[in-house]
Amino acid sequence: MIKKILYYSSIVLLNVFLITSCSTEKAVRNEKVIPADRLIRKLEGNRRTIKTFYGKGVLNIRSKSFKGKTSFEISVKKPDSIKISIYGPFGIDLAHGLITKRNFLFYDVLKNRAYTGTNNDKVLKSIFKIDLTFNELIDAFAGAVNLTDKLRTEPDIYITDGDTYQLLYLDEKNNKKSRYEINKDDLAIINYSVSTMLNDELFEGDYSKFQEFEKVPIPFNSTIINKVKNESLSIEYKSVEVNEKIESLAIKLPSDVKIIKW
């Protein structure tokens, strides 16, 4: 009985969205609205335009096992390399990490120890203190949202609301709803969220303070939240470079470093 009530409640909610969509379409009949399929292609095209990314700023991580805020530098070379440098107060050199899809090297400057081995989820969690995949980390640091799986899927709801486009995708098979909010002016994704069909929150990303690079809006402030695990990653960039040539991501180790294989 409860399942039936929840099901019909979802139907009612969907109808409300559809009615809103229809009324909004009438209200913006004379306004240029990008078709949903072309909008998604444009957004995904913007993400793929970024081949290399460099940023310098402040990283704030909160999870059950770690809470901390630190200065950092990040270099991303798509599709398979991330280099991160972490600094303490007064610019003290703390650590450097080079992570690829297959391998990793993490140098703890204070202990003069270098850890190396095969990359996996456990390694990423140890380095970044938050549960994200390698590809999710690349997108998170570049301020991007991967829409590859939406290229061949029409949104169940697509409306214009003031200065934004809003898209909602319903995935009953996997019990998920995905929502995206996009600025009309520059087509910047300012928010996306994932929840269950019964509106239990799973994941959310917020993006702000955009600057354009090669006509692609890049957020200087980003927050990624895993609602299920109560973990968050917040990034505040002070400077950003996009698609500049990265000569090398190598980490120079001192001759007396102790190397530990994981």
In this prediction, residue 70 carries a pLDDT of: 95
- In this predicted structure, the answer to whether residue 26 has a pLDDT above a threshold of 60 is no
pLDDT in tens, 215-235: 999 999 999 999 999 999 999
C-alpha distances in Å from residue 74, one per residue of 53, 99, 140, 237: 8, 11, 11, 10
CATH superfamily assigned to domain 50-143+245-261: Lipoprotein localisation LolA/LolB/LppX (2.50.20.10)
pTM of the predicted structure, to 2 decimals: 0.84
- The ranges assigned to domains in the chain are 2-47+145-237, 50-143+245-261
In this prediction, residue 7 carries a pLDDT of: 42
pLDDT in tens, 74-123: 999 999 999 999 999 888 999 999 999 999 999 999 999 999 999 998 99
Q: Provide mean pLDDT across the span 4-14.
A: 43
C-alpha distances in Å from residue 179, one per residue of 23, 60, 92, 130, 143: 20, 25, 41, 23, 17
In this prediction, residue 90 carries a pLDDT of: 82
- In this predicted structure, the answer to whether residue 246 has a pLDDT above a threshold of 50 is yes
Give the dihedral of Cα atoms 84, 76, 208, 237; nearest 10 deg.
Answer: 40
Given the DSSP bridges, would you call strands 231-242 and 52-62 parallel, antiparallel or unpaired?
Answer: antiparallel
Q: Work out the widest C-alpha separation in the chain, in whole angstroms.
A: 71
> What's the full length of the chain, in residues?
262
Residue 154 pLDDT grade (very low, low, confident, very high; cuts 50, 70, 90): very high
| Cβ neighbours of residue 184 closer than 8 Å, sequence gap 6 or more | 160, 163, 164, 165
| Coil vs helix vs strand at 50 | coil
Average pLDDT, the chain: 89
Candidates 183, 194, 197, 184; CA nearest to 150 is: 194
What is the full DSSP assignment across 145-193? ---GGGTT---SEEEEETTEEEEEEEETTTTEEEEEEEETTT--EEEEE
Q: Provide mean pLDDT across the span 167-188.
A: 97
